């Protein structure tokens, strides 16, 4: 799955998939809430907005980028000992206005989440 996600993400114009994954992990880390010595809670719903052309290209190629990013973020959270605020989902959408034509990553807490059901 890691190679599958990396190959799909490599289609993002001239940007490396590592940069997007790092932004997603940073969003997670930046919104971590320390509840106790043994409990750090992080948001569970993440949005990745892509330029329309990039999003359309991924759709044309049958991309399952949502799942690849979710799996990568799940591994990151497990390595840090995070507790998700609910079921984890990363949802990739197209946007006409992302910074520098690259991407935007957001997060929030949602009690019941399905990737196809939340919008930013």
Taking CA 45 as the corner, what is the angle to CA 41 and CA 46, rounded to the nearest 5 degrees?
110
Q: Check if the beta carbon of residue 100 is closer than 8 Å to that of residue 19.
A: no
Q: How confident is the model at residue 112 (pLDDT cuts 50, 70, 90)?
A: low
User: Strand order in 33-36's β-sheet?
Assistant: 33-36, 39-42, 82-84
Work out whether strand 33-36 and strand 39-42 pair parallel, antiparallel, or are unpaired. Answer: antiparallel
Give the chain's radius of gyration (CA, Å): 14
Cα distances (angstroms) measured from residue 108 to each of 6, 58, 111: 25, 24, 10
**Residue 48, both tokens:** 């990745």
pLDDT in tens, 87-110: 999 999 999 888 777 889 999 998
In the numeric block, the tokens 């809430």 are attached to 33
pLDDT in tens, 18-71: 788 899 999 999 999 999 999 999 999 999 998 888 888 777 766 678 888 999
């Amino acid at each position: 799955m890691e190679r599958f996600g990396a190959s799909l993400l490599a289609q993002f114009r001239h940007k490396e998939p590592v940069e997007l994954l790092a932004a997603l992990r940073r969003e997670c880390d930046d919104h971590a809430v320390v509840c106790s010595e043994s409990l750090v809670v992080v948001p569970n719903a993440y949005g990745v907005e892509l330029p329309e052309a990039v999003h359309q290209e991924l759709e044309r190629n049958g991309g399952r980028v949502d799942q690849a990013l979710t799996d990568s973020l799940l591994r990151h959270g497990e390595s840090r000992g995070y507790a998700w605020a609910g079921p984890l989902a990363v949802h990739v959408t197209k946007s006409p206005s992302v910074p520098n034509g690259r991407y935007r990553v957001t997060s929030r807490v949602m009690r019941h989440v399905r990737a196809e059901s939340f919008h930013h």
